[in-house]
Amino acid sequence: MLLYNICMDQKRDNLVFVLDEDIKFDSAEWAPGNYPLHYHNHFEFELITAGKGSQIFNGEKFELAKNDIFLLRPIDYHQVTSEGITISHIKVKPSILPEWIIQKLHSFKNPVVFHLTDKQFEKFNFLFKMLKDETENTSYSKSLDIRYTLVETIVTMFIRLGMENTSLYDDSVPAKVIYFLEKNNKFTQKVSLDEISKYVGYSKFYISSIFHKQYGITIQDFIINHRIEYAKKLIIETDLSITEIVIESGFASTSNFYSKFIKYVGCSPLKFRKDNK
């Protein structure tokens, strides 16, 4: 099931799509028009099979057409303008990917878009269709589940495209910060800028400035975003009290949690639980 911020203030445009499965496959036709600016808390690989349009990746516009494949990572803000696009999506939780893959994906510069040759497109399209079939087929036992192998194959092929052009790789400070946080699951733990700066190798003032310049939000806001998403998941999927959820999601106090939740989601935790239950 894909969860949305259903009580989000409509004036806010940074919608967060929360993936509840390890792997999800979708195919869709986007009607002509503009779609809202948003980001995900998962990795998403999108293959355009027909039509054309454009995406704005972290403030940079990029034209898209058939044979294009692109990557969306956690915190990649993007906005779609469609002139009639048919697209296949693969959405993947970071937790199922090997560490080396996550590190490579975070090392790409923006935007991560490849214009495939016809032969390359055929290969990716075939693998996407295989994953679609596997996702829809529930008759196989877990021991025969090859979805994870297919996803790793697709992602490895994607990374290989990037390795052909070293200028696409980014060994930047923001990429290292995000990798450190995801690798060590620091989102629900107390983490300081001093700890992050020690790992990255630069002063906390420098990494804060560079991170904000690239993504438009602070490192702390990035961490809070992830804590809020985890709290939303607990609110919907468990019967934990709000006090227990505050502790589990890493907030210092109930009052701080409530103020951040209302700011980011647009309604109180109790209303969010009521609307989503």
Report the CATH number that the domain containing residue 208 is assigned in CATH.
1.10.10.60
35 within 8 A of 58, measured Cβ to Cβ: no
pLDDT at position 5 over 50: no
Task: Specify the higher pLDDT residue, 143 or 43.
Answer: 43
Instruction: Tell me the C-alpha distance between 242 and 67, whole Å.
Output: 47
Do 8 and 82 belong to one domain? yes
Q: Are residues 60 and 194 in the same domain?
A: no
Higher pLDDT, 270 or 187: 270
Q: Average per-residue pLDDT in the chain?
A: 83
- The domain boundary residue, chosen from 168, 199, 219: 168
- Alpha helix (H) residue ranges in 91-137: 99-106, 118-136
pLDDT at position 155 over 90 = yes
pLDDT in tens, 178-193: 778 876 667 778 888 8
pLDDT for 8 beyond 60: no
Residues 186 and 148 in one domain: no
Residue at which a domain ends, from 168, 188, 222? 168
**Quick one: 35 and 135 in the same domain?**
yes
Residues 99 and 197 in one domain: no
Q: Do 32 and 142 fall within a single domain?
A: yes
214 and 145 in a common domain: no
Same domain, 139 and 254: no
pLDDT band at 3 (very low <50, low <70, confident <90, very high): very low
Count CB neighbours of 118 within 10 A: 7
pLDDT at 202 over 50: yes
Q: Which of 122, 143, 168 is the last residue of a domain?
A: 168
Looking up residue 14, the CATH number of its domain turns out to be: 2.60.120.280
Query: Which structural domain range is residue 19 located in?
Result: 2-168
Q: Among 74-88, 115-129, 239-253, where is mean pLDDT lowest? A: 74-88
Q: Residue 2 has what pLDDT? A: 31
Shared-domain flag, residues 49 and 153: yes
**151 shares a domain with 39:** yes
Indicate whether 243 pLDDT > 80.
Answer: yes
Whole-angstrom CA distances from 79 to 40, 57, 60 are 12, 7, 10
Residues of the chain with pLDDT > 70: what percent? 86
Looking at the structure of the chain, the number of domains it has is 2
- Whether residue 180 sits in one domain with residue 117: no
* Residue bearing the bigger pLDDT, 18 or 228: 228
Compare 17 and 215 and report the one with higher pLDDT.
215
Give the C-alpha separation, 40 to 13, whole Å. Answer: 13
Residues 128 and 179 in one domain: no
Average pLDDT over residues 154-174: 78
User: What band does 143 get if pLDDT is binned at 50, 70 and 90?
Assistant: low
Please compute the mean of the pLDDT values over residues 75-94 and round it to a whole number. Answer: 87
> pLDDT tens digits for 96-113?
888 888 878 877 776 688
Residue 222 has pLDDT above 90, yes or no: no
In sequence order, what are the beta bridge partners of 72? 44
